[in-house]
Each structure stands twice: as structure tokens, then as C-alpha cells.
Amino acid sequence: MLNRFVIAAATVMLTTPMAMAGPIDSACVRSDRARGNAPLCGCIQQVANQTLSRSDQRKAASFFRDPHRAQEVRTSKRDSDNSFWRRYRSFATQAERLCR
């Protein structure tokens, strides 16, 4: 019985895709503010996976390299930027709450 359990657990581990670093995680780990805090960056990426599309994640990751870009998007008059900013703020609020 124990042997079947071990085989079943190993099968699940081998067939479950490993979590890969996403654009937010990669940008976060490289940033000066996170100082390579992998657990924090991983948590933020998990929240991003639940709240942002991959396209939104790439756009948000660009803010780590160019913080002024975030200000440009936030103050933009374009509907697409305004929609993105609402999603981004929701993501940021959740990340702040969950990733301490």
C-alpha cells in the first residue's frame, strides 16, 4: 500500500508542470528595491498570475526598469491605459496585502 502511494505521489510530481518564473518575478528579482528577495518576488508573480494577463504582466514588469513609464501610463488619456491601470492597481493592492 505504501509503495502504491509513493508511486502515485511521484507520478503527480513528474506530470505536474513546474512553476516558471514570469515577467514580474524576473524583473522583481533583478530590481534594486527587492534586492533579490526571491520569495517576495515569487509571491508577487503568483498574484500577477491570478490577476493579470501575460500582456499586462509584461507591461507591469517594464515599470521595474523604467518607473517613469508607470507614471506615463497612469496619467494617460487612452482608454486602454486607463483599463490597464485599474487592473494594475487591483493587482498591486492584492500583492501588498498578501506578499509581506
- Domain extents for the chain? 21-98
Total-model pTM: 0.76
Compute CA distances 72 → 2, 5, 23, whole Å: 59, 54, 20
Q: Which residue has the higher pLDDT, 15 or 27?
A: 27
Let me know: does 22 contact 45? Beta carbons within 8 Å: yes
C-alpha to C-alpha distance for 48 and 68, rounded to whole angstroms: 21
pLDDT in tens, 37-89: 999 999 999 999 999 999 999 999 999 999 999 999 999 999 999 999 999 99
For the chain, the residue count is 100
